[in-house]
Amino acid sequence: MKIGFVGLGRMGRAMAGRLQGAGHDLVVWNRTREKSAELAAAGAKVAVSIAQACEAREVLVSMLSDDAALDAVALGAGGLRDSMPAGSIHLVMGTHGVEAIRSLALAHAAAGQTLVAAPVLGRPDVAAAGQLGIVAAGPAAAVSQCEALFKLIGRRTFDAGLAPEGATSIKLANSLLLGCALEAMGEVFSLVRKHGVAPQVMFEVITDGLFSAPAYKVYGKIIVDEAYDNAGFTTQLALKDANLVLAAGDAARVPMPSANTLHDRLLGAIAHGDAERDWAVIAREQARASGLE
Amino acid sequence: MKIGFVGLGRMGRAMAGRLQGAGHDLVVWNRTREKSAELAAAGAKVAVSIAQACEAREVLVSMLSDDAALDAVALGAGGLRDSMPAGSIHLVMGTHGVEAIRSLALAHAAAGQTLVAAPVLGRPDVAAAGQLGIVAAGPAAAVSQCEALFKLIGRRTFDAGLAPEGATSIKLANSLLLGCALEAMGEVFSLVRKHGVAPQVMFEVITDGLFSAPAYKVYGKIIVDEAYDNAGFTTQLALKDANLVLAAGDAARVPMPSANTLHDRLLGAIAHGDAERDWAVIAREQARASGLE
Amino acid sequence: MKIGFVGLGRMGRAMAGRLQGAGHDLVVWNRTREKSAELAAAGAKVAVSIAQACEAREVLVSMLSDDAALDAVALGAGGLRDSMPAGSIHLVMGTHGVEAIRSLALAHAAAGQTLVAAPVLGRPDVAAAGQLGIVAAGPAAAVSQCEALFKLIGRRTFDAGLAPEGATSIKLANSLLLGCALEAMGEVFSLVRKHGVAPQVMFEVITDGLFSAPAYKVYGKIIVDEAYDNAGFTTQLALKDANLVLAAGDAARVPMPSANTLHDRLLGAIAHGDAERDWAVIAREQARASGLE
Amino acid sequence: MKIGFVGLGRMGRAMAGRLQGAGHDLVVWNRTREKSAELAAAGAKVAVSIAQACEAREVLVSMLSDDAALDAVALGAGGLRDSMPAGSIHLVMGTHGVEAIRSLALAHAAAGQTLVAAPVLGRPDVAAAGQLGIVAAGPAAAVSQCEALFKLIGRRTFDAGLAPEGATSIKLANSLLLGCALEAMGEVFSLVRKHGVAPQVMFEVITDGLFSAPAYKVYGKIIVDEAYDNAGFTTQLALKDANLVLAAGDAARVPMPSANTLHDRLLGAIAHGDAERDWAVIAREQARASGLE
């Protein structure tokens, strides 16, 4: 397949690497050119402009860090909408807001192009191994056309229906669910500590039974060990996601008090200097609010 | 061992049955005598009063439904405190509040008796199979003396330290953690539904990855199927537990906003007629608040 | 009128003083006898027991500090229920929980007595001046019989209907409304401070217009001046009231998120050492949570 | 003074009318020209473009409905920044977000212009009478230069300091404070109703004492009368303001749980069809959540 790929951060490079490795005709572009070096060495063509990355492409994958970057790359002058061939697909794989996806889908449709949203679940090492979870939504024929790509990148694809922002909402919801588990762990660890119990015992109780899943095992251990300094995902970035999920709730008129609690805890952690720590640090922020730190 | 057992509800009967089956010298008592029939047939002696159930016992197990029942049975005239031999142990296995446990422990100590708190995790069928999780706390020698009993009833015992209310706090905290997961699922299911996604897809995404644990698999399925009428644990009982956990937070000065959100959602569900439904119905109450029902 | 009066704290003494001054036949009782001295000097009879305070009384006024004291005085052996003449009225003027009032009303009814709830609004100096607000509820004839007393103590009586706990709920609701105003002020003062504005300016804006009322003028000034050490009403007592209002919400199935927020802020303030400061200190607790202190 | 005025909605026309009436040299502009008719009849010049409205002006007043309008008018090609003389002042009197004001102030500074933020408190009739409250912030000399204008429009000017967004934050905070009062009233009205009390009684209690201010008298009456259909300020607009205040909290790292509660209540009301009703309707939304409607 003739594929363009824009956005070569850590995730983007890992994903593009899978496509290149499978022998697809790949053209890549990144705002800072150096990040293309490894892919170029592996045989990918490196475009000097977004427009060049779009030439004669069937699918244009974007893996960008936020809505502002997506807006600039897709809707700026000489961007994807201006440059993609009619009939081609913009496969948006980054995490974005529902309104950004909805309005971009309309802009592409007006230009005779199709947007498929397919945010991913997993980190760069999982991407490099082709084991991501992929949540895909968009017009059925277009999603179907992307399946060969999904198979290279992911372990499993979830069909989220015909509205691209549906996939977006699932990705944000999954992140919210994790944040709520972190907040709840923060509350219960403080509660048992103040009743004289070592956090490790609470950790063993929960991960032995109802909560024997990565969300609690991995993050519960970070909390018990207070290993917040080596951030997998920072509090600052988590706040950005929390605001995206709240905006998705606003758009759909869904009041989400747990999302508010998470948002405020992240904000408190940042106010107390934890912006660049792993977002599990909200458990320590909860302890602070309980007079424990 | 010479064991007394008071409180023969479904859980109590299953637990006492395990002890009887192992050949211990068991005397049982229940407020309504009929519930002793099965245990009597299996060879247990049935006491006509709490005092008789306490005669010459080394350990007196209680498995009562709430603090009021515990208060009446333990501290009423002719109750456990009045009747248990000096040096004996009151092994409290029901779910109670931290203040009830703390003050009862003092009352027993004043009478030369020892309280061990050992609330259990699991339902009657799990108890009958001797596969409960047990969270035990109290003076080390007394806890140690109870271990033979724990082995008959449980799969695993967690050592929650020397303060009995520590075990209580863990049990309540575990219940809170589950309630928070239910509330969070309610929010995300409403969010994705309003963005056009079938709840089943969201369910598959979460249980496939970070949340592949019973809390999400079992309860998520109840929510997706809207199977609330066959209650495993009612909204009304869940509200009682939520109030116990909030009281534990008050006692220890731990603000728990997620516990508040859970509490309010349960209250809303009850206000809308769901008191006797399974507490997972709070997901539907969330949908109602979002204008979906 | 033949009046008994139990509970001679600062408020009780001021209120009983008004009744004595008007020439009523007054018998007073207090758990610690010394507090009766001033009233005795003014001519009131001092009873040596609750029973004696009830002899031949038409109305028995209680002004007690909490539900536990009310329960002991009213329902304990030899207490009000046991001692009040048939046909007499227990006029409860303290602040209590709705369930305490409801069950006590039933207990009195079973003994041929009538309960009228008439909690008051105002502090001891206002009581001494006969300028309290009084919220009265109970059977119409009984309320009517108390009116002569209300006129001596209060500036205005509000008719809260036939159910005594209705008056209770208004008193608790009024307290909640004030707590919510304090919390909201805490949030907005932190917000403007962090945007470079002196709290005094914000105070002037709000009290000049929409919020030119004592709740904002008096308490807003305490916050601006950080004058928390000379407590009019402590954080600890405010937490007790917050729990009463939450219990009233539970009883009636009313989810009250603002009450939760207030409750948690009070808890946080206490966790950080502010139990005995004026409850307006929750504004500083809010600032602490915002990283300002 | 040579004044330009852009944004002639109801508030803008009333304010510009005051300036025109005092004999200032006034040029006005509005996107839809018809709204200038009345001012033109009174002697104001009507510009055909923003650029023309800026010619030789000392102060350019804007009174626009939201950040998008401000962004377009101020930063669009041929907008205020491009057209205002060096040394002139952009006096922003609409309600905007803190980030919009902060970044616009920088843009004007880069163009040799000065931004003064001076949001107003009051409605069109108050503006027409020159009785607004004005909260002004910006460089001292520039604020001072605007004082003659403030005197024509307002009853009182509050000095919010040197940072323009400080004035913005006060305006948003004032609106939040009112929203919190509405939410708290909703909660207490539901509480007392469910305990058998007529809302009117509660209204009398609160407005008689601690809360005898317009926020409670005016809005409390709307709630008691359920007079939501004749909207002074709609739920939809209130949600916009709630999001601005939450964004101001985000920018300053101030967690505001009461603002979240307000936000969610507004969202719930909109989800249930109340978008165009007066925002006091959140009291009815609270009643709905309590099972009362």
**Alpha-carbon distances, residue B273 vs A38, B14, B142, B270 (angstroms):** 62, 32, 45, 5
Co-location of D92 and D230 in the same domain:
no
pLDDT over 90 (residue B231): no
Co-location of D121 and D27 in the same domain:
yes
Which residues neighbour C184 within 8 Å (Cβ) at sequence distance 6 or greater?
A: D176, D177, D180, D181, D258
Q: Please give the structure tokens belonging to residue B239.
A: 């509200």
Q: How far apart are CA C258 and CA B231, in angstroms?
A: 31
Kindly report, residue by residue over A109-157, the tens digit of the pLDDT. 999 999 999 999 999 999 999 999 999 999 999 999 999 999 999 999 9
The domain in which residue D31 lies consists of 2-162
Q: Known catalytic residues of C?
A: 171
Kindly report, residue by residue over D79-88, the tens digit of the pLDDT. 999 999 999 9
Give the residue on D whose Cα is nearest the Cα of C186: D256
Judged by CB atoms closer than 8 Å, whether chains meet at A250 and D257 is answered as no
> In Å, how far is C83's CA from the nearest CA of chain D?
29
Cβ-based contacts of D291 with chain B (< 8 Å): 268, 271-273
The last residue of one of the domains, among C161, C186, C206, is C161
Kindly report, residue by residue over A186-210, the tens digit of the pLDDT. 999 999 999 999 999 999 999 998 9
Contact D253, A271 (CB under 8 A): yes
Q: Which residues pair with D6 in a beta bridge?
A: D29, D62
The last residue of one of the domains, among A162, A188, A218, is A162
**Extended strands (E) in C93-205:** 114-117, 120-121, 132-136, 154-159
* pLDDT, mean of residues A275-292: 98
Co-location of D94 and D188 in the same domain:
no
Q: Known catalytic residues of B?
A: 171
Kindly report, residue by residue over C114-156, the tens digit of the pLDDT. 999 999 999 999 999 999 999 999 999 999 999 999 999 999 9
CB atoms within 10 A of CB B208: 14
The sign of the torsion formed by the CA atoms of D77, D80, D81, D82 equals positive
pLDDT over 90 (residue A93): yes
Q: Known catalytic residues of A?
A: 171
pLDDT over 90 (residue D179): yes
Region of A291 (left: φ > 0; alpha: ψ -120 to 50; beta: rest) is left
Return the pLDDT at C57. 97
> In Å, how far is B288's CA from the nearest CA of chain D?
9
The band of D231, judged by pLDDT with boundaries at 50, 70 and 90, is confident
The strand pair at C45-46 and C25-29 is best described as parallel
Kindly report, residue by residue over B27-46, the tens digit of the pLDDT. 999 999 999 999 999 999 99
pLDDT over 90 (residue D60): yes
The band of A227, judged by pLDDT with boundaries at 50, 70 and 90, is very high
Contact A113, A90 (CB under 8 A): yes
Q: How many helices (H) and strands (E) does chain A have?
A: 14, 9
**Extended strands (E) in chain A:** 2-6, 25-29, 45-46, 59-62, 89-92, 114-117, 120-121, 132-136, 154-159
Active site residue D2: no
Range B259-285 burial, b when 16+ CB lie within 10 A, else e: bbbbbbbbbbbbbbebbebbbbbbbbb
Kindly report, residue by residue over B236-264, the tens digit of the pLDDT. 999 999 999 999 999 999 999 999 999 99
Select from C257, C271, C291 the Cβ nearest to the Cβ of A291.
C271
* pLDDT, mean of residues A7-30: 96
The last residue of one of the domains, among D113, D138, D162, is D162
Return the pLDDT at C201. 98
Q: Give me the CATH number covering residue A93.
A: 3.40.50.720
Co-location of A20 and A152 in the same domain:
yes
Region of B142 (left: φ > 0; alpha: ψ -120 to 50; beta: rest) is alpha
Q: How far apart are CA D233 and CA A77, in angstroms?
A: 39
Co-location of A121 and A213 in the same domain:
no
Co-location of B191 and B80 in the same domain:
no
Kindly report, residue by residue over B54-86, the tens digit of the pLDDT. 999 999 999 999 999 999 999 999 999 999 999
* pLDDT, mean of residues A176-192: 98
Return the pLDDT at B9. 96
Predicted-complex ipTM score: 0.96
Co-location of C260 and C188 in the same domain:
yes
Return the pLDDT at C160. 97
Co-location of A148 and A259 in the same domain:
no
Please name which of C70, C65, C97, C92 lies closest in space to residue C245, comparing C-alpha atoms: C97
- H-run or E-run covering C68: helix C67-75
The band of B293, judged by pLDDT with boundaries at 50, 70 and 90, is confident
Q: What's the average pLDDT block by block, 10 residues per block, for chain C (293 residues)? A: 97 96 95 94 96 97 97 97 98 98 98 98 95 98 98 97 97 98 98 97 95 97 96 95 98 98 98 98 98 92
Please name which of B235, B222, B226 lies closest in space to residue B273, comparing C-alpha atoms: B235
Select from A260, A264, A267 the Cβ nearest to the Cβ of D264.
A260
Which residues neighbour A244 within 8 Å (Cβ) at sequence distance 6 or greater?
A: A67, A95, A96, A97, A98, A172
DSSP conformation class of C275: T
Q: Give me the CATH number covering residue C249.
A: 1.10.1040.10
Q: Please give the structure tokens belonging to residue D143.
A: 């604020």
Q: What percent of chain C has pLDDT over 90?
A: 98
> In Å, how far is B11's CA from the nearest CA of chain C?
28
Q: How far apart are CA C61 and CA C12, in angstroms?
A: 9
Co-location of A6 and A67 in the same domain:
yes
Co-location of B199 and B98 in the same domain:
no
DSSP conformation class of D233: S
pLDDT over 90 (residue B170): yes
Judged by CB atoms closer than 8 Å, whether chains meet at C256 and D191 is answered as yes
Domain tally for chain B? 2
Cβ-based contacts of A289 with chain C (< 8 Å): 268, 271, 289
Cβ-based contacts of C198 with chain D (< 8 Å): 161
Q: What is the pTM of this model?
A: 0.96
DSSP conformation class of A3: E
Please name which of C292, C47, C44 lies closest in space to residue C191, comparing C-alpha atoms: C292
**Alpha-carbon distances, residue D227 vs C126, D186, D269, D271, D293 (angstroms):** 36, 14, 15, 19, 15
What subunits touch chain D, counting only 3 or more CB pairs under 8 A?
A, B, C
Q: Please give the structure tokens belonging to residue D60.
A: 């350019």
Q: Which residue among D151, D171, D194, D221 is the active-site one?
A: D171
Does the CB of B140 have a partner CB in chain A at under 8 Å?
no
Return the pLDDT at C43. 93
Q: Which of C183, C263, C290 is the best residue to mutate to test the A interface, defined by the most A CB atoms within 10 Å of its own CB?
A: C290
Give the residue on C whose Cα is nearest the Cα of B275: C253
Return the pLDDT at A281. 98
- A204: amino acid identity, one letter: E
Q: How far apart are CA D144 and CA D75, in angstroms?
A: 25
Q: How far apart are CA A205 and CA B35, in angstroms?
A: 31
Alpha-carbon dihedral C140, C146, C148, C152, rounded to 10 degrees: -130
Co-location of D33 and D157 in the same domain:
yes
Judged by CB atoms closer than 8 Å, whether chains meet at D264 and A255 is answered as yes
- Cα-to-chain-centroid distance, residue D165: 14
Rg over alpha carbons for chain D, rounded to the nearest Å, is 21
Co-location of C48 and C178 in the same domain:
no
Q: Which of A254, A285, A292 is the best residue to mutate to test the B interface, defined by the most B CB atoms within 10 Å of its own CB?
A: A254
CB within 8 Å of chain C, chain A residues 245-274: 257, 268, 271-273
Mean pLDDT, chain B, integer: 97
DSSP conformation class of D281: G
